[in-house]
Chain A
Amino acid sequence: MRIEKIHDNLWEIPKTGGMRVPGRVYANERMLERIKDDKALDQVVNVAHLPGIQKYSIAMPDVHWGYGFPIGGIAAMDAQDGVISPGGVGYDINCGVRLMSTELTEKVVRPKLKELVSELFDRVPCGAGVSGSVKLTKEDYREIIRKGAKWAVERGWGVPDDLSKIEDYGFLPGGDFDAVSKRAFKRGHDQVGTLGSGNHFIEVDVVDEIYDPVVAEAFGLHLGYVCVLIHCGSRGFGHQICTDYIDRMISYMRREKLDLPDKQLACAHIKSVEGQEYLSAFAVAVNYAWTNRQLIMNSAREALYKVFDIGPRELGSKLVYDVSHNIAKFEDHRINSSIKKLCVHRKGATRAFPKGHELIPEVYRDVGQPVFIPGDMGRGSYVLVGTETAFEDTFGTCCHGAGRVLSRRKALKAGSGRNLISELAEKGVIVIAKGKRTVAEEMPEAYKDAGEVCSVVHNAGIARKVAKLRPIGVIKG
């Protein structure tokens, strides 16, 4: 595969064969060599074959081999004659990250940290096969379709201020109850408010470094203060919707004689019946995921109240923002000299809109959209802000995490014989995990350094570093 250098942090895969657009990879030279080790770049090329794709098939520095799309991939399709691909969103529809700030300092939290981590672990069901305490009825689902995360806030699981700081204010219209299978409703009815497993987590962090004091102040982040980072998605509900619609789109592709290099890229034209019905079901899952993160944040607040014997006023917790990183969004972008409506697939990638954009919640319109890049359990996570360059070059998108370098099997091997929980405790990080294998599979060495990933996007100008978060407590499934 030919790869040409555009600048130190950007590379291009020229158009060959059936590619409709070139590929573009954000990485430094050293990272690019590692990226070449797995099949992520082949997947960038495969995505470039999709009908209606605009400008480039893009990969972020955290890119790694997924299924169909690479994880860390972006593809924007013409909303008129392009396609929507459920695999380009992922099984975990609207998987994302939310950050909640508090007015507690590390000094106050540290003496009761173990207790706090245990309390969080007890309150948020996590791991495989667990149910949440909320059981969704048909009417609840209909309300979630109508209101998104507001449904949870109206029930007392949050405050109205939370809604003002979620992407799209925590509600995506267009959801249709009838587009969702009975199977999806059943699979999801007892999973709302649960964390899941794999790379999902709740993390207690300390604001450790500030790179941009003005923006950090606007985001409510202060040095030495504790915040909570939550990563999860739409659980079995979204997984089933994706499963159902990939099957339907495989039939659609056969009927329409659409041929693509990988069946997992299964797609349908946005304007087709299949495309529209997927989008109607997808919207329900998007709202479900926001509701899920809202419930988990509410449980985190309650854990903090209990452990520190304080109330909402003393905790002073505020949602900083909630980003979606497995998503497709209809947005206006400039293509050549005209503005076009596009369906931007972000598969393991985060919207990073610049200040002034009307889709950013009002509270951040003067500074830009917050972006969260969770790192591994040991080395910390980053808060960035969206830029004009991202809007011009990457459809307003940046990376979503550190990105794996070791397979789960290799990580298990590297972790064997080691007590990773003690190793992390020595570094000041208390970890509780439900699954025995999870800690080894998710060990710091299994991931790229989030700091290096963030430096690439910062240097390429597609997001700007605002603050670094240092983990002190981690809950894993």
Chain B
Amino acid sequence: MLELMAMKYEFLDHTADVCIRVFGASFSELLSNAADALMDLIVDRETVKLSEEIPFEVNGETREELLVKMLGEILYLHQADKLVFKDIEIRNVARNRVAGILYGEVFDSTRHELQLDIKAATYHNLNIEKVNDKFKVDIVFDI
């Protein structure tokens, strides 16, 4: 169990889409690990430089909404502003607000190979659980 909790995230099987199980010692860490998982799904982060800092902020009524909206923000910035990301810093977690900074650069097809075209992070069976004071959630992405 300890070993499992040290893990940031793992892949679960899903017939049509991509499902990940994310862990975190705190809600803030859960958000950060979920963002890491999504960034890994998009591109090999080793190839991404830290040349851009993009502040973000999302609002939501529940922790599940904050999580999905943060992932939606990453997908939007990736697709609309053609950015790829290496890292995230969660700076502020309030009851209905999450703010932070994404680090990365503009997509360059000569250096970055995009892995998956992800349509969205879904709310399907989304339930953030607290097990022994640690957080756990399964997230399905539509591919």
What residues make up the interface of A, taking CB atoms closer than 8 Å to B? 38, 40, 64-68, 71, 87, 90-92, 127-129, 183, 186-187, 196-198, 236, 239-240, 242-243, 246-247, 250-251, 254, 262-264, 266, 404-410, 435-437, 477
Contact = CB atoms under 8 A, between A and B. Distances in A.
Contact of B114 (A128, A247, A409): A128
B142 A407 contact: no
Contact of A251 (B61, B115, B116, B126): B61
Interface stretch (B1-9, B21-29, B76-84): B76-84
Given A186-B80, A263-B126, A65 B15 contact: yes
A266 B61 contact: no
B38 interface: no
B124 A68 contact: yes
Interface in B91-126: 107, 109, 113-117, 119-120, 122-126
B15 A407 contact: yes
A264 B120 CA distance: 12
Contact of A264 (B11, B18, B124): B124
Contacts, number: 101
Interface of B: 11, 13-18, 42, 61, 64-65, 69, 72, 76, 79-80, 82, 107, 109, 113-117, 119-120, 122-126, 140, 142-143
A435 B125 CA distance: 29
Given A129-B109, A242-B120, A264-B122, A67 B17 contact: yes
Contact of A243 (B17, B64, B72): B72
Instruction: Give the secondary structure class of B's interface.
Output: loop
A205 to B, nearest CB: 23
Contacts of B64: 263
Contact of B15 (A64, A246, A266): A64
Given A128-B116, A247-B69, A66 B76 contact: no
Contacts of B72: 243
Given A67-B142, A198-B143, A477 B123 contact: no
Nearest to B123: A263
Contacts of B140: 67
B28 to A, nearest CB: 22
